[in-house]
Chains A and B, each alone.
Chain A
Amino acid sequence: MHFVEENIDHLFREFSGKMASVLLRIFGFEHASLIDDIIQETFLTALHQWKTKGMPDYAEAWLMRVAKNKTINELRRLGKSKANTATELIVDDSQVEELFLDNEIEDSQLRALFACCTPILSQKNQIILTLKTLSGFGNREIAKALYMSDDAVKKSIYRSRIQLQGENNRLEVPTIQQAEQRYQVVLKVCYLMFNEGYKTTEKPHLIDEDLCLEAIRLTKLLIGIGRENHGGSYALLALMHFSMARFSERQNSMGEFVSIEEQNRGNWDSGLIELGYYYLKESREGNTLTRYHLEATIAAMHCGSPGFEETDWQGIVSCYEKLFRFDDSFMMKLSHAMAVSQLEGAEMGVKLLKELGNKEGSSSSYLMAAMAKLHRNLGKYELAKSYYEVAIDLCKNPNDLVFLKKQLLTVLKTPGGNSN
């Protein structure tokens, strides 16, 4: 009996993701629950054996071997069943063997990633299916990560799999044109997945960091593909690393949101920031500008600045202005206005926010909070107080609510802030 010293963190989850990809290629989406079963049974066997005998030296290879044998058995069983004359399943043992080779496993993961990130599904469902298939997340874990019920996750996966059955059942390699289109979709899914993990809507979940790390892993998987221009992927990686550098500081010990203005920059992870700069440099390959380039640059400017005031606000404002081409949403305009207020003064920011409210409606908690902040900066505490109160009324999100109430309290405590 021996104890394996290698890092087995997330071994099972990673293995689950790899296994699901290989099995999808062999069985297709129509046998999705069979695939789930094979993986479950492999784990059960492992648990059973290893708990009395200890983990073997090459745990993953062991798991692979067991899964492969179960797969071969299942194929034999299905091959004999009359119900399966419609599908051409691989029944040759040596073909199965081949698919279990290392380079084939990576190839299967990429195919599975491209298959799951399909415009046929909504973006949310793409994320859910990717997490289930590629990332080895269980239903409960996905539910926690995305603030959904277990049941909603189960339904989403079930429906997505059915929708994909007709599509590309055996994960054939897409044409070059299809691959190009799909590449952008996959990149978007990685970006969205990362944002889900980074959000601070509620108290922190342990799974949040896993979600971010998984998004990074999948983005790196993309870079392995031979194609001309990975600039966008490198830019996304840069953005993710700059963000991860600040991951632990964005919430305090009580799980409350801490704004970038208030974060202790000394605690930002300099190793991750360095990696961010490395990826940013790599992202200049090719000549396509993506939104990820711009967002990464903004993140770089924050991370490179010793303090909030000293940040290169001119640089950030011009990045936001370029970002409008890709995303001219309400929140983007709001962020732009706040950056402008740092550059040109709070009055300018107020002006932009008022324009935004007039054009697109002012019943946004974020807009009201932004107005409150700027009026605070201007010393107009009565107005700031009112804006915070409206922001609190409009607030739909527990963590934001805590943050807003704290801000209001601070204003009330400021001399001149409470006119009673």
Chain B
Amino acid sequence: MNKYMLILFEDAKGYEGMSAEDYQKEIEMHMKWMEELGDHYDSGEPLEADAKTIKGVEKVVSDGPYIEAKEMVGGFYMIHAESLEQATELAKGCPVLRLGGTIEVRPVMVIE
């Protein structure tokens, strides 16, 4: 199996007006999905909203993430799958999509 990275783009508006019960359900869904992934799951990390961006030859540093945050990178998963198609199928189960988020699925380059 190959490794694939799932980059999670999240819409901050998706979380507006959520009640405690809503958060509860979201987390339960994520946990359920991770269970379902089973051996496909490799790792995952959430990312803080704090960010610095460094650009180009002049190494200009600015505050904040690279893209203006309607959709910010919220975290990533590393999963194992047989193909990009399978990885994409697996990624469909990730609950961020329900809140209007986007997932970019990228194969990790294998260097012989």
Contact = CB atoms under 8 A, between A and B. Distances in A.
Interface of A: 1, 3, 8, 10-13, 15-16, 39-40, 43-44, 46-55, 136-141
B41 A16 contact: no
Nearest to B24: A12
B31 A10 contact: no
Given A1-B34, A3-B31, A8-B28, A51 B46 contact: yes
Nearest to B12: A44
Contacts of A54: 31, 34
B44 A53 contact: yes
Contact of B75 (A1, A16, A52, A139): A52
Given A3-B35, A8-B24, A12-B24, A52 B45 contact: yes
B15 interface: yes
A140 B19 contact: yes
B56 interface: no
Contacts, number: 77
A40 B22 CA distance: 11
Contacts of A55: 27, 31
A60 to B, nearest CB: 12
A141 to B, nearest CB: 6
Contacts of A44: 15, 23
Contacts of A48: 46, 74-75
Most A CB within 10 A of own CB, among B17, B24, B26, B96 = B24
Q: In terms of DSSP, what is the predominant structure of the interface of chain B?
A: helix
Contacts of A39: 20
A1 B77 contact: no
Interface in B29-79: 30-31, 34-35, 41, 44-46, 74-77
Q: In terms of DSSP, what is the predominant structure of the interface of chain A?
A: helix
A15 B15 CA distance: 19
Given A55-B31, A136-B20, A141-B21, 5 more contacts: A47-B15, A51-B96, A53-B46, A138-B17, A140-B17
B18 interface: yes
B95 interface: yes
A296 B26 CA distance: 39
Contacts of B45: 52-53
A197 B20 CA distance: 19
Nearest to B41: A1
A43 B24 CA distance: 9
Contacts of A51: 26-27, 30, 46, 75, 95-96
Give the top 6 A-B pairs by smallest Cβ distance, nearest first.
A138-B19, A52-B44, A51-B30, A12-B20, A16-B20, A12-B24
A407 B99 CA distance: 46
A73 to B, nearest CB: 14
A40 B76 CA distance: 23
B36 to A, nearest CB: 11
Contacts of A10: 21, 24
Nearest to B10: A48
7 contacts: A10-B21, A13-B24, A43-B18, A43-B20, A51-B26, A52-B75, A53-B44
Contacts of A136: 20
Contacts of B22: 138
A284 to B, nearest CB: 38
A297 to B, nearest CB: 36
A149 to B, nearest CB: 14
Given A8-B28, A47-B26, A13 B75 contact: no
Contacts of B19: 13, 137-141
B12 to A, nearest CB: 10
Contacts of B27: 12, 46-47, 50-51, 55
Given A48-B74, A52-B77, A138 B44 contact: no
B58 to A, nearest CB: 33
Given A3-B31, A54-B31, A46 B46 contact: no
A137 B18 CA distance: 11
Contacts of B76: 52
Nearest to A52: B44
A377 B69 CA distance: 70
Contact of B21 (A3, A12, A49, A50): A12
Contacts of A138: 17-22
Contacts of B15: 44, 47
Nearest to A14: B20
A13 to B, nearest CB: 4
A140 B18 CA distance: 9
B26 to A, nearest CB: 6
Contacts of B17: 138-140
